[in-house]
Amino acid sequence: MPLEATARIVSELTSRGYNAEREAVTLLASADDPQAALERVVEDLPEDALVVRTDHVDAALAAAPAANPAAGDGSAPDTERATDESAAGSALDTSLGDDDRGADASPDATEDPSISTGGQSADHGATGGNTPVETKGGVTVERSVDPELRSLEIAGDMTGESTGTGEYEDFVSVFRDRLERVGSKLRGRINHRPASAIQSMPGGDDVAMVGLVNDIRSTASGHWLIELEDATGTFPWLVMKDREYVDLVDELLCDEVLAMEGTLADDSGIAFVDSMYFPDIPRTHEPSTADRHVQAALISDIHVGSEEFMADAWNAFADWLHTEQAQHVEYLLIAGDMVEGVGVYPNQDEELDIVDIYEQYEAFNEYLKKVPGDLEIVMIPGNHDAVRLAEPQPGFDEELRAIMSAHDPRIVSNPSTVTLEGVSVLMYHGVSLDEVIAELPEEKASYDDPHKAMYQLLKKRHVAPQFGGHTRLAPEEEDYLVIDEVPDIFHTGHVHKLGFGKYHNVLAINSGCWQAQTDFQKSVNIDPDAGYAPIVDLDTLDVTVQKFS
């Protein structure tokens, strides 16, 4: 497969910081053992060489001993690659103890039945009854990927598109855009009226409105008063404590968009809620799948530069990616927190292994080099990364892109949507999950089940509905945080817990992290899921979890 071989050689060389003449690459590709030849060439290159030329390759090939596959001490041609024991990753069975992963494990009946699809029990935390069921020693293989079969498209990347000045008018436009776009998913379902019109309707009339949640208050008698706002004004809605909808009140966040239907009080000053509607994901949503068996690894929160960064686990993951077991993993998505950063949290410097932010990214790039060069890599920033903290966060600047150049990753904004062979993945770092978990009752969102907090974001069709708490909003003309199109996969990180499940057929995955428990996390009892890599089959949307720690 000459095309594959040349592409691989080019990316190997670039990942080590070299350019190459076209003929030099062809020559390398036609060697008996291109990988060994490449190693030799690199080893013998003059120190100041930036470009690999044909004469370098000629010299290296001439000096090489005759190819003898059986020869030697068993060391792999590339010593950075997997050795048998270091490549051992253990697969976690994701179908609740049934070790036939493809089989029809029956869905956990106690869970929302709507989340069960794809022949898998649908709802998982990292530790919920799963035990490592297999440990496969990995043998480094030549990955036989055909780049022609791949496709990768990006949407919603706002890098370079920022128009916000942070002025009041920008907040007006971003909320107007939010109401318009999220509201459009509700307006067809009810006979809504603007707030200003509702104020002048006669008492007793049936009314409906689409608006942003402006305020949520409980009344002295235990009912709930919810103020909705639209472009014309605000209107108060009362949810009586004995109505079935009262259970939904604890899910509400300020600034989310929803619709209410009800009856106007006699004086028309308030309406009694009969129904509440969320923009939501249609239950009929049918996800797209890839036409061939191909996989994506979804990870986040690497935190290179932290004393707790788990280099061994990362190296085992990188080695595993070179093994036969991982040969179908062709995409690697990284949802933010590449590095630990500097000054992100108080006293964070006490736990820094690398104190300079650029050196952190350089170290990250070294770790990135260890994964196979033929992977397509997409990354977005997180709250520890060196971009603005307010969301949406643009992709890294040119200087950082130049540092994180191993394997030529696609660097896009947080959030962004990447479509892999027809399967759309909404990537969002996940700072708002802290908010959702803090505001909602335990059974609806918790650190142990981070995917359930993600379901709430899907239901609200917005990745960071509530503004002003943990989540900082950079107002733009457009609200880039709206979930406009239904994604096939929703990928977040940030809370350092692994969990996944399906919500109305959308696969929600919160990847764990590569950082052991920090002192802060110890103090607040966060027990991170570190060293796991969830792997998604893009042809079935099934998930397997590989453990490397």
**Which spans of this chain sit near ligand D5M (rule: CB under 6 A)?**
301, 337, 345, 383-384, 434, 494-496, 520-521, 526
Count, residues near Fe ion per rule CB under 5 A: 2
Q: Whole-number minimum distance, CB 476 to Fe ion, in Å?
A: 24
Q: Which does 124 bind (CB under 5 to 8 A by kind): ligand D5M, Fe ion, Zn ion, none?
A: none
Which residues pair with residue 534 across a beta bridge?
A: 545
Q: Tokens for 425, please give them.
A: 């993945």
Pick 187 or 522: Cβ nearer ligand D5M? 522
Question: By beta-carbon distance, which residue lies closest to ligand D5M?
Answer: 345
DSSP annotation string for 162-174: ------HHHHHHH
Pick 339 or 371: Cβ nearer ligand D5M? 339
Which residue, among 223, 266, 241, 174, has the nearest Cα to 467 in the 3D structure? 174
How many Cβ atoms sit within 10 Å of the Cβ of residue 206?
A: 12
- Binding residues vs Zn ion (CB under 5 A): 337, 382-383, 494
Pick 337 or 529: Cβ nearer Fe ion? 337
Contact pick of 108, 337, 374, 385 for Fe ion (by CB under 5 A): 337
Which residue, among 440, 444, 422, 430, has the nearest Cα to 498 in the 3D structure? 430
Applying CB under 5 A, the span of 169-177, 231-239, 297-305, 338-346 interacting with Fe ion comes to: 297-305
Q: Which does 520 bind (CB under 5 to 8 A by kind): ligand D5M, Fe ion, Zn ion, none?
A: ligand D5M
Question: By beta-carbon distance, which residue lies closest to Zn ion?
Answer: 494
Q: Whole-number minimum distance, CB 66 to Zn ion, in Å?
A: 53
Q: Which does 280 bind (CB under 5 to 8 A by kind): ligand D5M, Zn ion, Fe ion, none?
A: none
The single-letter DSSP state of residue 268 is: S
Q: How far is CA 311 from CA 88, 229, 305, 531, 533, in A?
A: 15, 49, 10, 10, 14
314: left (phi over 0), alpha (psi -120 to 50) or beta: alpha
How many Cβ atoms sit within 10 Å of the Cβ of residue 149?
A: 12
Q: Whole-number minimum distance, CB 384 to ligand D5M, in Å?
A: 6
Interatomic CA distance for residues 57 and 105, integer angstroms: 54
Which residue, among 145, 151, 97, has the nearest Cα to 326 in the 3D structure? 145
Applying CB under 5 A, the span of 235-243, 330-338, 391-399, 521-529 interacting with Fe ion comes to: 330-338
Q: Whole-number minimum distance, CB 260 to Zn ion, in Å?
A: 34
The single-letter DSSP state of residue 352 is: B
Q: Which does 345 bind (CB under 5 to 8 A by kind): Zn ion, Fe ion, ligand D5M, none?
A: ligand D5M
Interatomic CA distance for residues 91 and 317, integer angstroms: 12
Q: Whole-number minimum distance, CB 299 to ligand D5M, in Å?
A: 13
Pick 15 or 456: Cβ nearer ligand D5M? 456
Go through 262-299 and write b for each residue having 16 or more CB atoms within 10 A of its CB, e for each that does not.
Answer: bebeeebeebbbbebbbbbbeeeeebebbeeebbbbbb
Pick 392 or 512: Cβ nearer Fe ion? 512
Q: Whole-number minimum distance, CB 521 to ligand D5M, in Å?
A: 6
301 touching Fe ion, by CB under 5 A:
yes
Q: Whole-number minimum distance, CB 349 to ligand D5M, in Å?
A: 12
Q: Whole-number minimum distance, CB 534 to Fe ion, in Å?
A: 16
Pick 383 or 416: Cβ nearer Zn ion? 383
How many Cβ atoms sit within 10 Å of the Cβ of residue 246?
A: 16
The single-letter DSSP state of residue 114 is: G
Pick 496 or 502: Cβ nearer ligand D5M? 496
Q: Which does 505 bind (CB under 5 to 8 A by kind): Zn ion, Fe ion, ligand D5M, none?
A: none
The single-letter DSSP state of residue 31 is: S
Q: Whole-number minimum distance, CB 304 to ligand D5M, in Å?
A: 13
Interatomic CA distance for residues 51 and 70, integer angstroms: 32
Which residues here bind Fe ion, judged by CB under 5 A? Answer: 301, 337
